[in-house]
């Protein structure tokens, strides 16, 4: 049975072994302090050669300190907005270009885990790995016939190394936390515990196999997302074998161009699938760095084809949180800061006892200023930067359950920025949310749609409706072919049993002060006719089963 992370158990375990933790603590402190001093002294240099040496020193330090520190470096390697580009190039080596462990040791693990030597199990097995990462190394082997597979083998003594280093890291961070200029929103110890929990799950390859199959099932009807097939008969807790992915890593725009791959289409697929995981499925890949995502040939519409690999770091988000996050995005875009404050409270970023009235103008000043006039100019980095400022002066806190969500979104945006420095994540995120709103597949989404298109007095909010349609139209590049599914979804909702509240509210707008008033409806029809071709919608609808109008209003 795989061991799970337990901070208290491991602390007691290590305290009784001073001959282990004392020299290791000295090694960690000496390495980090030496690196920090060099960066302080040389970090502002304009000499490129100096920075080249610093980046190599950073890479070497993190590599020598082992898996826990390598994981931190991997997270930094996806943030071109936080790390110098020349340093970034070095840090990408932490994703899958680390020194491999001994090949004979890998063969021993295969024999112990699978019950036979590699030469008996595989038709062809190489003498060296094709990639080596923080927790394991990967071999490209031939299983049978011309069927190539990726065989990932876990590094030796990994459980011991992680237990030891996590205790030391948590202790050092807890001691130094109060004197560091940090206000992370939750205790530093909680961050380490969350990090430890995920790492221990990541080294259980049986769990990873389950994750991969669950992820594949969620995207089974999506031709743009490919997930390798797990070969269960040659997989265990320390060895996992999957079908081989023939693709290009999402590291460099020029490399993608060389293979005639559309970087913008691939970014759109990556971000759309990431948002779908968070807001629709509630189950997401928490480590979407360039080493775990491959660009494949082909396109479906304006979306490129992507393959995800390495499903050790996964997490879930509750349906309640998904709905509230969706509302928060809509309320932010619509600048409804009173509702946004309430969303933050529901998500746990503000305590339940917190008086929201003084918070609303703060949100309006800080986030409203970052949002500006153009929705598509807003990015997640703007949000995180502004929240960093807010946390020092106001009672905002980041709930522990959002640590991996934030990491996943930041990594996803960082990857996109690496391929396109001008990328804005909201330019993809909000059109996706807007389209989901118009289809209103759930009761919560319908309630949110009603909040968007109707004012408090029950009249239509034509300005907000136009804004919503503009965003969808811009995302669809004005193409009627791309807009048709959106229009059809809206009509289907209107005539469905779920749309009775929408029909009722539309009928109520016809009556004002006990008089018939058709002005709002006329303006709505005029607005819709600008965005959608009525004749194209009618032709499309005639080809499909007719929608029956429900009488309940």
* Strands of the 303-308 sheet, one edge to the other: 225-226, 303-308, 293-300, 248-249
Q: Tell me the two tokens of residue 95.
A: 């994703």
**Do the bridges between strand 225-226 and strand 303-308 make them parallel or antiparallel, or are there none, so unpaired?**
parallel
Residue in 464, 552, 458 with CA at minimum distance from that of residue 506: 458
CA–CA dist 190, 188 (Å, integer):
5
Residues β-bridged to residue 152: 138, 240
Catalytic residues: 287
CA–CA dist 383, 122 (Å, integer):
49
CB atoms within 10 A of CB 287: 26
3-state secondary structure string, 97-156?
ECCCCCHHHHHHHHHHHHCCCHHHHCCECCCCCCEECCCEEEEEEEEECCEEEEEEEECC
SS3 401: helix
Is residue 279 within a helix (H) or strand (E), and if so which, with residue range?
none
In our burial notation (b when 16+ CB lie closer than 10 A, e otherwise), range 339-350 reads: bbbbbbbbbbbb
Q: Give the residue carrying structure tokens 């009722």.
A: 504
Asked whether the beta carbons of 151 and 132 are under 8 A apart, the reply is no
């Amino acid at each position: 049975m795989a061991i799970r992370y337990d901070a208290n158990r491991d602390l007691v375990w290590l305290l009784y072994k001073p001959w282990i933790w004392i020299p290791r603590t000295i090694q960690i402190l000496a390495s980090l302090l030496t690196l920090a001093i060099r960066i302080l002294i040389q970090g502002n240099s304009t000499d490129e050669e100096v920075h080249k040496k610093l980046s190599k020193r950073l890479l070497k330090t993190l590599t020598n300190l082992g898996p826990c520190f390598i994981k931190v470096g991997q997270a930094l390697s996806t943030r071109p907005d936080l790390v110098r580009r020349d340093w970034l190039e070095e840090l990408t080596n932490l994703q899958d270009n680390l020194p491999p462990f001994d090949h004979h040791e890998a063969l021993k693990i295969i024999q112990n885990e699978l019950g036979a030597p590699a030469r008996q199990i595989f038709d062809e097995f190489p003498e060296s790995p094709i990639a080596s990462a923080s927790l394991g190394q990967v071999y490209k082997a031939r299983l049978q016939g011309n069927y190539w597979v990726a065989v990932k083998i876990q590094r030796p003594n990994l459980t011991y190394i992680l237990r030891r280093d996590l205790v030391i890291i948590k202790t050092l961070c807890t001691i130094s936390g109060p004197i560091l200029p940090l206000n992370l929103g939750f205790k530093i110890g909680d961050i380490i515990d969350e990090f430890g929990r995920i790492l221990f799950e990541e080294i259980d390859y049986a769990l990873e196999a389950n994750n991969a199959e669950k992820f594949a099932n969620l995207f089974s009807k999506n031709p743009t997302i490919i997930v390798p097939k797990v070969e269960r008969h040659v997989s265990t807790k320390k060895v996992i074998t999957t079908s081989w992915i023939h693709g290009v890593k999402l590291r460099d725009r020029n490399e993608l161009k060389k293979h005639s791959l559309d970087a913008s289409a691939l970014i759109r697929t990556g971000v759309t699938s990431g948002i779908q995981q968070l807001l629709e499925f509630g189950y997401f890949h928490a480590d979407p760095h360039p080493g775990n995502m491959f660009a494949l040939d082909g396109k479906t519409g304006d979306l490129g084809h992507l393959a995800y690999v390495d499903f050790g770091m996964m997490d879930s988000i509750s349906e309640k949180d998904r709905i509230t996050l969706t509302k928060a995005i809509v309320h932010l875009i619509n600048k409804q800061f009173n509702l946004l404050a309430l969303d933050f409270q529901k998500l746990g970023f503000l305590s339940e006892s917190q008086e929201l009235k003084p918070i609303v103008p703060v949100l309006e000043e800080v986030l409203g200023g970052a949002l500006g006039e153009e929705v598509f100019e807003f990015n997640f980095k703007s949000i995180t930067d502004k929240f960093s400022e807010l946390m020092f002066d106001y009672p905002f806190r980041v709930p522990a359950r959002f640590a991996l969500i934030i990491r996943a979104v930041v990594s996803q945006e960082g990857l996109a920025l690496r391929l396109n420095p001008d990328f804005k994540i909201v330019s993809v995120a909000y059109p996706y949310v807007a389209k989901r709103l118009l289809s209103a597949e759930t009761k919560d989404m319908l309630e949110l749609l009603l909040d968007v298109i109707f004012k408090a007095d029950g009249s239509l909010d034509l300005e907000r409706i136009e804004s919503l349609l503009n965003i969808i139209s811009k995302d669809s590049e004005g193409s009627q072919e791309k807009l048709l599914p959106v229009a059809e979804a809206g009509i289907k909702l209107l005539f469905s049993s779920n749309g009775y509240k929408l029909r009722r509210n539309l009928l109520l707008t016809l009556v004002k002060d006990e008089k018939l008033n058709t002005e709002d409806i006329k303006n709505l029809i005029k607005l819709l006719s600008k965005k959608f071709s009525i004749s194209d919608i009618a032709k499309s609808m005639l080809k499909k089963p007719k929608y029956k109008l429900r009488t309940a209003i």
